[in-house]
Chain A
């Protein structure tokens, strides 16, 4: 008997504003406790909320990026519950009239197991609404008391709710990663998961094919993609085992414990969901004009999916066909160039806007016909070195233009790939330098003079008569031995393709 898995996600993205959603207190991370908790954050009597324009603007950017309906008029509501880190006794949120309505996100799913191929899927987004974050409770050593830090109280969040469209841990993770890339790409959230800027709640249920939806359990506050996958895998198995053993799944909120790899119950849902929402009388309806939306639209970057399609396409016809397949509009932004890279390369290069920009800046130097060479280097040498040094692409000691100046010399045959790696290594270590000057100073120019290479090969053949005889009698493997000798004799400078060709000819006798 098979089971179907049904997963929906609620993601809390902390918006990258300077100040809180309803007051002018700073939202900078890591401040001393309660130094950023102003009168509104701590809910002193008589204070009133005033909505932050920057938070609304970021919500609009998200709506535009997901092709969502933007409510011309939306309403803030009070969600009532008691907890010490929620000093007002209610959280200001949105309920029946959220700012962002139905949207969608196209994801690329890398199946986690077997030889299954990557595939695309469109996940529907139900809504995204603005709300304030709560403070933090610290259950440390305070003589049996709980410490409350209200710095985080009032920080703007965009809660992004998906439809239950995902049917595996791989799909859920792909959705979360795509969303994570998107919110950073459009500059609305820094995506720092360790600092809690991007938190995922995952609703999981199982059912027999064709049956109605099963009872769901909600895994709260997952802050890494790895944990998300582990938590879903464990939870799915737990639910299946429970039902197959004759039990019933009860609706509940659960937590994932990374140490044990298990999920455990936090609270059952009986009373917990009676939040008695009602419109907040302190806040007027939020109106968003068409003009404001257009102003924001004009400043939106080309989205990752459109950049990815351009990276993959060989020409405009292919671009349009991909757009239709991935349910994107077929307009081509003024600055989009087609590169014809593989799907894998394209996906990797749009993992962040900065990486995509770096790649394209490099191609601008080396030329569109060398896009694959640039992609290989950005994803290879550059990424590997950045990883080793714990840097991100914006901190790369070698700029896209500098990398381009190295790759130019591969493209025009001046240096070999290994010579280029040497230049790259030197430039990285010295944090700069001029490619041509390094090539000159280190004598890295490759020898492409066929006369010189022929002379070198002749010498080797003369000095190794026995091996040559062996080779000629059918020991093909010795070819590598000769290549090695010749390369060494040329101090690594011989043009490899040329060397191979000449060597093959001469050895054939």
Chain B
């Protein structure tokens, strides 16, 4: 299984991004975009991809892949309760609450 982002990078080196790709990504991200906005996003994203293509052209033979700018690993937390009930505080900024629940427009699967 090739990870999504790896697949994405591979695609980029072979072909450029189409406006349909932009529309698809916008739909997945729930972004409403006008045709002009799609055009603008297309050109901006293409610029980013060009930059990635440039980086991918660099010969990295023998260099270990780096997943973070600092050479550190994940710090772990002891399994102990540190957070109390702050429902009232958090819900004071919620648009609508009832019976302790956050209310949102109805979703039906």
Contacts and interface: CB of A to CB of B under 8 A. Distances in A.
Among the interface residues B1, B74, B76, B82, which one has the most CB atoms of the partner chain A within 10 A?
Answer: B74
Contacts of B99: 33, 147
A275 B5 CA distance: 11
Interface stretch (A45-53, A100-108, A418-426, A488-496): A45-53
A294 interface: no
Nearest to B96: A145
A478 interface: no
Interface string A1-38: 00000000000000001110001111000001111111
Contact of A53 (B28, B78, B86): B78
Contact of A275 (B4, B85, B98): B4
A147 B103 CA distance: 5
Given A37-B87, A147-B99, A285 B74 contact: yes
Find the residue from B75, B101, B103 having the highest chain A CB count within 10 A: B101
Given A34-B100, A266-B109, A54 B67 contact: no
A331 to B, nearest CB: 31
Contacts of B77: 24, 50-53
Contact of A285 (B67, B83, B101): B67
Contact of A24 (B1, B6, B29, B80): B80
A283 B74 contact: yes
A356 to B, nearest CB: 27
A117 interface: no
A35 B100 contact: yes
B80 to A, nearest CB: 7
A472 B102 CA distance: 87
B79 A50 contact: no
A284 B104 contact: no
Nearest to B28: A274
Nearest to B24: A274
Looking at chain B, what size class is its interface with the partner chain?
35 or more
A142 B100 contact: no
A44 B4 CA distance: 27
Contacts of B74: 51, 283-287
B104 A36 contact: no
A106 to B, nearest CB: 26
Contacts of B79: 17-19, 52-55
Interface string A305-346: 000000000000000000000000000000000000000000
B105 interface: yes
Nearest to B4: A277
Contacts of A148: 101-104
Q: Which of A32, A145, A276, A279 has the most B CB atoms < 10 Å from its CB?
A: A145
B81 interface: yes
11 contacts: A33-B99, A33-B100, A35-B100, A53-B76, A53-B77, A56-B76, A83-B107, A145-B103, A147-B101, A149-B100, A284-B68
Given A39-B83, A276-B28, A284-B74, 15 more contacts: A24-B82, A25-B83, A26-B83, A34-B102, A52-B76, A53-B78, A84-B104, A96-B6, A145-B104, A147-B99, A148-B101, A149-B100, A149-B101, A279-B67, A285-B73
